[in-house]
Amino acid sequence: MAIADNNINDSRPVIRQLDEGAINRIAAGEVVERPASAVKELVENALDAGARRVTIDIADGGKTLIRVTDDGCGIAGHDLALALSRHATSKIDGSDLLNIHTFGFRGEALPSLGAVGRLSIASRVPGAEAFQIKVEGGAMGKVRPVALNAGTVVTLGDLFYATPARLKFMRTDRAEAQAITDIIKRLAMAEPFVRFELRDISNDSPRTVFVAEAQTGDMFDALHGRLATVLGREFADNSLAIDAEREGLHLTGYAALPTYSRGSAVAQYLFVNGRPVRDKLLVGALRGAYFDFLSRDRHPAAALFLDCDPTLVDVNVHPAKSEVRFRDPALARGLIVSALRHALAGAGHRASSTVAGGVIEAMRPEGAGADTPRVYQMDRPSLGLRAAPYQTPQPSGFAEMARDYSGQVAAPEPVAESDPQDLPLGTARGQVHENYIIAQTATGMVIVDQHAAHERLVYEKLKRQMAENGVAAQALLIPEIVELSNGDCARLLDLAEDLARLGLGIEAFGGGAIAVRETPAILGEVNAEAMIKDILDELDDMGSSQTVQVRIEAILSRVACHGSIRSGRWMRAEEMNALLREMEATPHSGQCNHGRPTYVELKLADIERLFGRT
């Protein structure tokens, strides 16, 4: 048997310098994951060039054709070849990678696209001729003259033809087209003063998929109009304007009312210095701001824009630039939570208008639609006639039926003619099924769930008392020792002060262990180790934790539920009106503790639609 010579090994790996084509294809794998990634890079280049109109044409979900046309500043003919070189860019000079004011800055997108597809760039700068250059699979052609009025047209055909293995991982044309649409909508929200148009030219009959006209006015008006286009009029009508600033961070945008929640996080759009991001810290802050108003299976809807000095945030931490890192993450998170909570508190008893829309749809008679014959009516009564019931007490007319039916009618109290407009929830007119208060407003009617509404009022009162008096802590006779890793232990000890304010007292016990010496008294007997691990899991998932506070407020919610007006209880007129007035004065009273609406408002026009009187 031969003995191998350890000093001679013919299979020793050889270090090689990869050729430029292989390098570009590897880089493309990071930058261009799918057609939507290519569209994102090209549209961002157009925006960085100062474009005011951007048109995107795609075919077969972007697999066979992507064309982006803009009216930006253009690229000079002598710069076209340089623009297709790796790490060549006009957006930074390389001296400061933190002071970035543009979408792109790495100079990787165009050479990466040219390495994996058939890329053509035609461009013209003002006062010069237009030129074109083509690249196929990394092979660059010559710069040639071309006919073009202004701006730039970038055409990418047969994406990934040079890397066939990547094509096997593409999804259906429809799925890829939807991903492109989502990218365009996000960029359209970031740039409300730019016109965007997305067209699908896959067959002989091209169709426009999405159009967002350029907005005018100040930033808030423009953003509101753009969100109405992108997210729908319902979001725009049921969202709250956000404008807050703290220590160099400025938060603007719109956040929806809790009653306008979604079943998933699909309606959450976050931007940092105008750049669309999917950042775990920001998502956790958004969730934390709403955690007291929504159940865990509901998600808030929002479009939030966080602006700051570029040196306060690092955008160069992800190949697709979809994640960022803040110099002071706690400051960013705190600003989002406090600004949203302040806006939600300012909304008072307001509930989303979609609640009434759902009621109208549910009550619509079968077969009612566009073909239903129109029913004509007399002119609508004047405001004075509509306000008359507030002025003159009327006999109930139904009092004799109170024993046979689950309802009662309250005689109206004399009210000044101008008062109804000053009472958003109106004046109680009756109670049905011993649970629902019927109130009349100046412009319609309101139906209130008495139990849900009073439950929220009691809950808010308990929270105020807890905030004023603090959370009582009970000392454990024998501290519970929880063994953790050194990293987890350090993270928890950093939160020791915050946890102590919630009644959870912890301290270091040596090594990776902590000692739990106090727990919130309101929680009763607590499995301290399980709670500590839940806190750590939430820190890993969201970057912050409300585990203790959530459990405390869950107890308060249950106390509020048991201490509120029960369903089935008869209420006097003065009790019903007192409940309505307290709802108007209490923040968040428009939804119960689980995010469901506490009342439904029907305008007179809505009621008339139910009876075809329109």
Question: Which tens digits make up the pLDDT trace of 330-382?
Answer: 889 889 989 998 888 877 766 666 655 555 555 555 544 444 444 334 344 44
The predicted model scores a pTM of 0.71
Q: Are residues 108 and 190 in the same domain?
A: yes
One domain for residues 225 and 206: no
Q: Identify whether the C-beta of residue 298 lies closer than 8 Å to the C-beta of residue 347.
A: no
Instruction: State the average pLDDT for the chain.
Output: 79
**What pLDDT, on a 0 to 100 scale, did the predictor assign at position 502?**
77
Q: Say if residue 190 is in the same domain as residue 241.
A: no
Tally of structural domains, the chain: 3
Which of 476, 473, 527, 539 has its CA nearest to residue 500? 473
User: First-to-last CA distance in the chain?
Assistant: 101
CA 569 → CA 431, 437, 450, distances in Å?
Answer: 10, 11, 9
For 201, the token pair is 């030219």
Report the distance separating Cα 149 and Cα 156, nearest Å. 20
Q: Same domain for 429 and 481?
A: yes
User: Are residue 294 and residue 431 in the same domain, yes or no?
Assistant: no
Domain containing 122 equals 20-212
- As a whole number of angstroms, the distance between CA 350 and CA 366 comes to 31
* Statement to judge: residues 204 and 250 lie in one domain: no
Measured CA distances, 14 to 21, 22, 24, 172, 258 (Å): 20, 17, 21, 40, 61
Asked if the structure places residue 364 within a domain, the reply is no
Choosing from 182, 212, 242, the residue where a domain stops is 212
Could you tell me if residue 357 is inside a domain?
no
Asked if the model's pLDDT at residue 514 lies above 80, the reply is yes
Q: How much is the pLDDT for 339?
A: 92
Q: Are residues 417 and 546 in the same domain?
A: yes
Domain-ending residue, one of 158, 191, 212: 212
Q: Per-residue b/e over 448-478, b at no fewer than 16 CB within 10 Å?
A: bbbbbbbbbbbbbebbeebeeeebebbeeee
Residue 89 resides in a domain: yes
Residues 164 and 302 in one domain: no
Q: What percent of the chain has pLDDT above 70?
A: 76
Report whether pLDDT(411) > 70. no
Q: Do both 492 and 575 map to the same domain? A: yes
CA angle at residue 350 from 332 to 189, to 5 degrees?
45
Phi, psi at residue 388, to the nearest 5°?
A: -55, -40
Whether 424 and 309 map to the same domain: the answer is no
CATH number of the domain residue 281 falls in:
3.30.230.10
Out of 212, 235, 254, a domain closes at: 212
